[in-house]
Amino acid sequence: MVVKSQLKYIKSLQQKKFRNTHNRFVAEGLKTVSELLGSGCKAETLMTTEVDLSQVSGQATQLISTKQMAQISSLKNPSRVLGVFEIPKPVEVQFSDWVLALDSIRDPGNLGTIIRLCDWFGIAHLLCSPDTVDAYNPKVLQATMGSIARVNLVYTDLLAILKSAPVPVYGAFMDGDSLYETKLPQNGILILGNEARGISKDVSALIGQKLGIPQYGQPTAESLNVATATAILLHEVRRA
């Protein structure tokens, strides 16, 4: 039996402050929930509206009504499965491979797409400035399509990391050196900045080389979206 207080608790996890208080987040959808379980994320509660999904990956799942699901879901069209998970503890960042760092990314869809890109391009560690949108925000989680289970997310002071970085530091800039003409090393830190303001001044000061994605033809389009820019940069990083 699901009690009202439990539904209220789950709904509260849509807000960052309650996620932090309880160290829990909510994932929706069979795919995302399955991928989190498959990656060893610890589920506190699994809920489903369908009897034949009452065993998700062998774990006991509470059967709830579609009305109850609608109450706790963040989605317009609630899914059949929802899980409450422990927020994974970040592991130590390894600089033996490329590391991606985000300076104040604010749009949940962009962060979700970037996490999905990290997964595709095998980027294991993603550093986020403390003012980057929370990765356990429901909108981010939806956009990651389950990839969040396979990327080590570290919210941290970028300046402290960059000051002692054991590898070269690159940043994406509108006026950076052409990606077509830059040979990238086997490892490094790649930084992308805020959607409107780009990389902050303090972080910029610690960047060794500015990289740019050459525009073609007339200079008309204002800029690339940060997620599409990340796609192109990671594609180049993996060319090496």
Q: Give the interface with a copy of itself as residue ranges (CB under 8 A).
A: 109, 113, 116-117, 119-122, 145-147, 150, 179-180, 213-218, 220-222, 224-225, 227-232, 235, 238-239
Sign of CA dihedral 177, 161, 24, 12: negative
Q: Which residues pair with 59 in a beta bridge?
A: 56
CA distance 65 to 71: 10
- Radius of gyration in angstroms for the set of CA atoms belonging to the chain, rounded to a whole number: 20
CB of residue 78 to a copy of itself, shortest distance in Å: 20
Residue with smaller CB distance to a copy of itself, 146 or 198: 146
CB of residue 79 to a copy of itself, shortest distance in Å: 16
CB of residue 41 to a copy of itself, shortest distance in Å: 15
Residue with smaller CB distance to a copy of itself, 166 or 180: 180
Residue with smaller CB distance to a copy of itself, 174 or 205: 174
CA distance 68 to 42: 23
- Pull the structure tokens for residue 33: 């929930």
CB of residue 72 to a copy of itself, shortest distance in Å: 23
Residue with smaller CB distance to a copy of itself, 8 or 238: 238
CB of residue 176 to a copy of itself, shortest distance in Å: 14
Q: For 102, phi and psi rounded to 5 degrees?
A: -115, 125
CB of residue 231 to a copy of itself, shortest distance in Å: 4
CB of residue 179 to a copy of itself, shortest distance in Å: 8
Q: How far is CA 131 from CA 69, 134, 143, 163, in A?
A: 31, 8, 19, 19
Helices (H) and strands (E) in the chain, counts: 9, 12
Instruction: State the DSSP H helix or E strand holding residue 128, giving kind and residue range, or none if neither.
Output: strand 125-128
Residue with smaller CB distance to a copy of itself, 81 or 179: 179
What value, to the nearest 5°, has the Cα angle with vertex 105 and ends 192 and 172? 15
Q: Quickly count: other Cβ atoms within 10 Å of residue 239's Cβ.
A: 9
- Pull the structure tokens for residue 209: 């080389």
